[in-house]
Amino acid sequence: MIHVVDYGLGNVQAFLTMYKRLGFEAVRARTAADLEGAGKLILPGVGAFDHAMELLDQSGMRPAIESLVVDDGVPVLGICVGMQILARSSEEGSLSGLGWVPGRVRSFRSAERSAALPLPHMGWNDVHVQSASHVFAGLAADARFYFLHSYFFECDQPEHVAATAGYGLDFCCAVAAGQVYGVQFHPEKSHHFGATLLKNFAEL
């Protein structure tokens, strides 16, 4: 069973609708009790890093989520800000992230090659898969996804970079560390490429 975490950020219904169309059972989780028996988690999100962490804490679900992921090894997929909060910290705020993927979140403004580019980085962009993980199976060199963001994930360890995209610089747009995955782009808005990725995650 896939549980989509509803802590007040992200279009949860879009994921439920897409999984229904793909033939997988997915439910919305608003409380810790809703997470009981979760086999996979999706952590969506839009907006600012600190706001996401605050809402996750206020939801009361964080301890249950951390227990499922850290103690039980349940696969999790963070999306957009849901990916960014997998890091230790962000230049966007002062709060600590979940720290499940070693790294930090940086602004395009702080990188020389992207500092002068318009923000947010918005629209379709090519994604270059670096990982052999099943999550990215079937996503060839022409894979394109929809982006809307001003910050990017900088991994401490290169092996955690699952995919890259270009915006002034080649930046990490997907991470994979054990059973923890994250994508900066929006698979729920990325047509058949996004459907393939979400299907792959469901089949892990």
Catalytic residues: 80, 186, 188
Planar angle of CA 119, 81, 86, nearest 5 degrees: 130
Tokens 């020389």 belong to: 112
Long-range contacts, stretch 15-21, CB < 8 angstroms, 24+ apart: 15/42, 15/44, 15/188, 15/198, 18/188, 18/194, 18/195, 18/198, 19/198, 19/202, 21/195
At position 152, the amino acid (one-letter code) is F
Helix, strand, coil shares, percent, the chain, to 5: 30, 30, 40
